[in-house]
Amino acid sequence: MYTCLAPGAIGIRASLEEGLAIAAEAGFKGLDVGIKDIADRIQEEDADQVKGLFSAAGVRPGAWGLPVAWNGSDPDYEETLKELAGLAAAGASIGATRCAQWIPATSDERSFRENFRWHVRRLKPICEILADAGCSLGLEFIGPRTMRVDKAYGFIYSLEGMLGLCEAIGTGNAGLLLDCWHWYTSLGTVADLKALVVEDVVTVHVNDAPMGVLIEDQVDNRRALPSETGVIDLASFLNVLKDLDYKGPVTPEPFSQRVRELPPAEAARETFLGLDKAWREAGIA
Spatial separation of the C-alpha atoms in residues 73 and 23, rounded to whole Å = 37
| Complete DSSP assignment for 118-136 | HHHHHHHHHHHHHHHTT-E
Secondary-structure class of domain 2-281 per CATH: alpha beta
Q: Quick one: average pLDDT of 221-238?
A: 96
Nearest by Cα to 224 from 172, 177, 278, 186: 278
pLDDT category at 285 given cuts 50, 70, 90 is confident
Spatial separation of the C-alpha atoms in residues 179 and 152, rounded to whole Å = 25
pLDDT category at 176 given cuts 50, 70, 90 is very high
DSSP-derived letter for residue 247 is: -
pTM above 0.85, yes or no: yes
Inform me whether the pLDDT recorded for 123 exceeds 90.
yes
Let me know: does 89 contact 97? Beta carbons within 8 Å. Answer: no
Strand 98-102, strand 201-206: pairing:
unpaired
**pLDDT (tens digit, 9 = 90+) per residue, 86-122?**
999 999 999 999 999 999 999 999 999 999 999 999 9
Domain ranges, ordered by start, for the chain: 2-281
Q: Quick one: average pLDDT of 249-256?
A: 96
Question: Phi-psi region for residue 225, left (φ > 0), alpha (ψ -120 to 50) or beta?
Answer: beta
- How far the first Cα of the chain sits from its last, in Å, is 10
CA distances from 63 to 6, 29, 152, 216 (A): 9, 13, 32, 30
Q: Quick one: average pLDDT of 252-256?
A: 95
